[in-house]
Each structure stands twice: as structure tokens, then as C-alpha cells.
Amino acid sequence: MSPPRPDDPAAALNQVLSEVIDAILDVRQALRRVAETQALHAELDQLLADLRAWARMLADQDEALGVSPLASMATGASRTPQNPWHGAASNEEVRRIVGEHLDRLQHQLSAALAEQDDDQIRAALTEIEQGIQAHKRALSDL
């Protein structure tokens, strides 16, 4: 397996995967700042589970294309979260930071969808996009 060329639709897919990995790191940090008894914690826990499932789905799509999913990006262990969390954070701040990350992920998804011709990949990206919209609504309702 080889890394994708920059003009290859797999490159856009990998940008989404990279953003999903960043989101996983941020949501794990956010979970540590919210009490387990709060509804926000339950929503973040579900979001984390979905992000992990989406990362696996995107990696599977890469492999189906013959592309090594992590050949052109840093692994989760070698990344520094984009929003370093220092000390306590209010629920409002957690929702804002996670929401901003979901906005970035949604932007990457839109760009990747515009570059995809493969129906299976488009379906996977659309499923993720719908999931992100649902999580954004759930976060704003808390």
C-alpha cells in the first residue's frame, strides 16, 4: 500500500480521517473535564464511540482503495491536541470547543465529498456528516 497522491480523492479521505483522529483526542480530553453524572458526559461518550467507529470506517475505505490509511499522517499517539486543556473547564466551554472541532470536521467532510466519485465512499462520508450534525444538535440542546 502506498500513500495517496495530493490530487487523489483518497487524499481528501485521509484529511477527514486525520481530522477525526484529532477530534478523538479533543473529546477524550473533554470527557475528563465533565462529571460522569452530567448529560454532557454521556453525549461526549457517545460522540467518542462514533468518532472511533468513523475512523475505522475511513481506514477501511482507504484500504479498499489500496492506500495505507496512516502512511501520510501522524498517528494519534504522536499528535498534540489542537485545543490544549488547562485546568477546569465549564460545560459551556467544553461544548464550544468540541462544537468548533465538529465544525472543522464538517468542513473537511464537505471538501472530501466534493472530490469523491466512488458511491461507497460518498455513502460513508455522508453517514459521518449526518452523525456530526446529530451530535452538534445534541450538544446545543444540553
pLDDT in tens, 53-90: 999 999 999 888 887 766 666 665 666 656 556 777 88
Query: What does the alpha-carbon distance between residue 34 and residue 64 come to, in Å, rounded to a whole number?
Result: 38
Domains in the chain: ranges and CATH: 9-141 (1.20.1260.10)
78 touches 97 (CB < 8 A)? no
Cell representation of residue 23: 477530534
* pLDDT one-digit tens code per residue, 95-118: 999 999 999 999 999 999 998 888
* pLDDT one-digit tens code per residue, 10-25: 788 888 998 999 899 8
List C-alpha distances in Å: 37 to 41, 126, 136.
Answer: 7, 32, 20
Give the pTM. 0.86
What residues contact 6, with CB distance under 8 A and at least 6 apart? Answer: none
Helix and strand element counts for the chain (H, E): 4, 0
Compute, in degrees rounded to 10, the torsion defined by CA atoms 52, 139, 110, 4.
-20
- 6 pLDDT higher than 70: no
Query: What does the alpha-carbon distance between residue 61 and residue 124 come to, in Å, rounded to a whole number?
Result: 8
58 touches 126 (CB < 8 A)? no
- 9 pLDDT higher than 80: no
Query: What does the alpha-carbon distance between residue 34 and residue 44 come to, in Å, rounded to a whole number?
Result: 9
Give Rg (Cα) of the chain.
Answer: 15
